[in-house]
Chains A and B, each alone.
Chain A
Amino acid sequence: MTGETSSKKPLAFIIEDEQEQAEIFSRALQMAEFETEVIRNGNAALERLAAAVPTLVVLDLHLPYVSGADILQSIRADARLADTRVILATADPQMAEMLQEKSDLVLIKPVSFYQLRDLAARLRPSDTVG
């Protein structure tokens, strides 16, 4: 993955505190041709979201410091991030259902690697695909 090729790829944030999960999500998105960045806590996520505009965010709901629900709220309140797609990943179906409408997709953990790869590929902006 050289800098030259990655600069053309759309950016995806993986906001997930569990390292192995983050790695699996990251690999799935890389296979779907995303440039990935793993963020491990809520505060760092808010900082990075203030600085960059990712195409896709895979968001875990249970995070240290700032909850995933709050991060989702702040993404939706930020006009800069109007085109950012959000995939929620949570083990809590109740929580997932509550936030269903604010997100583009909700995946109940455990999230299948294949499923995430295929869904992420579908969420790629059409101009970068062609």
Chain B
Amino acid sequence: MNNQQNTRSKGNILVVDDALINLRLLSRALEEHGYNVQTATNGPHALEAVQAELPDLILLDIMMPEMDGYTVCARLKEDACTRDIPVIFISALDETLDKVKAFTVGGVDYISRPFQAQEMLARVETHLALREMQRRLQDQNRQLEQEIVERKRVEEALALARDQALEASRLKSQLLSNVSHDLRSPLGNILGHTEMLQAGVHGPLSDRQQEVTTRIIANAQQLLGFINNLLGQAQLEAGRVMLNVIPFAPTELLKTTQGTIDMLAQTRGLELICDVEPDIPDTLYGDPYWLRQILANLVGNAIKFTEEGTVRMHIYRADQDHWAIQVSDTGCGIPEEARSYIFDAFRQVDGTAIRKQQAGSGLGLSIVKQLTALMQGKVTLTSQVGKGSTFTVLLPLKPIQEGTT
């Protein structure tokens, strides 16, 4: 490469020799071949010259008064700034011992005097090329080290961001859980007091008063369903939903759900039908708490979207290995395009054109889907716009393994 750069200097060479005649010979030969040459006639001057301007290569006489070439070389090798400058020794001495010493103190090559200019130039060129390659390798190494440092920093930043996100998520779930808990207690009391009132504990009620208590209960139940969903979502997100699979009676499942939904259906003027097919065993296996959540959400959803007619809860045997909870309504139905996202969590449903009166938390069906998946079941939807919708939750008859998260 150097050959192609004839117009420019091929490199700065420092020539150190106590004999002026030698200095002149070397300088001329080097300058004729395109090198910049600096000279020094003794060791201390050579060291000063190197400090003033770093040469690319040094030709260094060994036998000099005051400070010999070995010492000069050793000094250069001690300093991190000058350590990498290639040093070629020049001497009339031609003893093996001295050559070995020249390499030991850090020289890269050795030229014996009298020398041939071509040989000297070839060696200089070779070592300059080597030095250049070494420099590039060092640069690449530095760059790689820099990249590694950078990457480590990015990884640490990512890890920190991830930890913070996890912590924020944990706090959100915790907050949801706490808030839900704190909402449930007073709401439970509202329900209890109203039911007591309705049951006549504090004296008989007029028909109008009866109706109002029904409305209060329906509203409280609706609010409670919403809170249960918040709590359920928090638990699902935190991976804390552990299914406790126990034997239960399907009729009881329907009855308790009906108990919490009945008043809501009444206030909306809807008929609520519950039936269990006779081929369903008296005892099924599952987690009644979370099954109630599924059922309450499906029925709550059906009531919300049904202006008039009936909402039906139906439990039947789907096939050899499955039973099914089916909730159907005579409501407005679900348009084709909505069916793909209707089970997604509330975020995705945001911004879609749902009528205000029907907008809820958007958590219900997402929770149904997540819980059904936990129970190793499947939820499907058939719907006809203007006629109604049917949600079917298919569940295994055989008890699934407990403690699935």
Asked whether A24 lies within 8 Å of B196 as measured between CB atoms, the reply is yes
A93 and B371 CA atoms in complex are apart in Å by 15
Asked whether A115 lies within 8 Å of B259 as measured between CB atoms, the reply is yes
Selecting from B73-81, B97-105, B152-160, B186-194, the interface stretch reads B186-194
Specify which of A18, A27, A100, A110 is in contact with B187 (CB 8 Å cutoff): A110
Q: Which residues of chain A have C-beta atoms less than 8 A from B41's C-beta?
A: none
A97 and B289 CA atoms in complex are apart in Å by 9
Q: Which residues of chain A have C-beta atoms less than 8 A from B199's C-beta?
A: 31, 113-114, 117
Asked whether B185 lies within 8 Å of A114 as measured between CB atoms, the reply is no
Cβ-based interface call for B93 (8 A):
no
In the complex, residue of chain B having the shortest beta-carbon distance to the beta carbon of A107: B256
Type the 1/0 row for B42-84, where 1 means its CB is closer than 8 Å to any CB of A. 0000000000000000000000000000000000000000000
Given A18-B185, A100-B244, answer yes or no on A110-B192 (Cβ-Cβ < 8 Å): yes
Asked whether A27 lies within 8 Å of B289 as measured between CB atoms, the reply is no
Given A24-B193, A91-B181, A96-B289, answer yes or no on A111-B244 (Cβ-Cβ < 8 Å): no
Cβ-based interface call for B216 (8 A):
no
A8 and B334 CA atoms in complex are apart in Å by 58
Q: How many inter-chain contacts with C-beta < 8 Å in the A-B complex? A: 62
Asked whether A110 lies within 8 Å of B191 as measured between CB atoms, the reply is yes
Cβ-based interface call for A7 (8 A):
no
Cβ-based interface call for B224 (8 A):
yes
In the complex, residue of chain A having the shortest beta-carbon distance to the beta carbon of B228: A108
A46 to chain B, nearest CB (A): 25
Cβ-based interface call for B131 (8 A):
no
Cβ-based interface call for B18 (8 A):
no
Which residues of A58-85 have CB atoms within 8 Å of chain B's CB atoms?
none
In the complex, residue of chain B having the shortest beta-carbon distance to the beta carbon of A94: B242
Cβ-based interface call for B201 (8 A):
yes
A96 and B287 CA atoms in complex are apart in Å by 12
Q: Which residues of chain B have C-beta atoms less than 8 A from A20's C-beta?
A: 189, 192-193
Specify which of B188, B240, B242 is in contact with A111 (CB 8 Å cutoff): B188
A100 and B191 CA atoms in complex are apart in Å by 25
Asked whether A109 lies within 8 Å of B185 as measured between CB atoms, the reply is yes
B86 to chain A, nearest CB (A): 75
Which residues of A92-122 have CB atoms within 8 Å of chain B's CB atoms?
93-94, 96-98, 100, 108-115, 117
A98 and B259 CA atoms in complex are apart in Å by 25
Q: Which residues of chain B have C-beta atoms less than 8 A from A27's C-beta?
A: 196, 201
Cβ-based interface call for B109 (8 A):
no
Asked whether B192 lies within 8 Å of A21 as measured between CB atoms, the reply is yes
Q: Which residues of chain B have C-beta atoms less than 8 A from A110's C-beta?
A: 184-185, 187-189, 191-192, 224
Asked whether A24 lies within 8 Å of B189 as measured between CB atoms, the reply is yes
B289 to chain A, nearest CB (A): 5
Given A31-B201, A117-B199, answer yes or no on A112-B181 (Cβ-Cβ < 8 Å): no
In the complex, residue of chain B having the shortest beta-carbon distance to the beta carbon of A117: B199
In the complex, residue of chain B having the shortest beta-carbon distance to the beta carbon of A109: B188
Asked whether A113 lies within 8 Å of B242 as measured between CB atoms, the reply is no
Specify which of B189, B224, B246, B260 is in contact with A21 (CB 8 Å cutoff): B189
A111 and B244 CA atoms in complex are apart in Å by 20
Q: Which residues of chain A have C-beta atoms less than 8 A from B201's C-beta?
A: 27, 31
Q: Which residues of chain A have C-beta atoms less than 8 A from B246's C-beta?
A: 97, 100
A92 to chain B, nearest CB (A): 8
Specify which of B181, B192, B224 is in contact with A24 (CB 8 Å cutoff): B192
Asked whether A113 lies within 8 Å of B191 as measured between CB atoms, the reply is yes
B382 to chain A, nearest CB (A): 31
A–B Cβ pairs within 8 angstroms, 13 of them = A24-B192, A31-B199, A31-B201, A91-B181, A94-B242, A97-B289, A109-B185, A110-B185, A110-B187, A110-B191, A112-B260, A113-B195, A115-B259
Further contacts, 6 of them, CB under 8 A, given A24-B193, A110-B191:
A21-B192, A24-B189, A109-B184, A109-B185, A110-B184, A110-B185
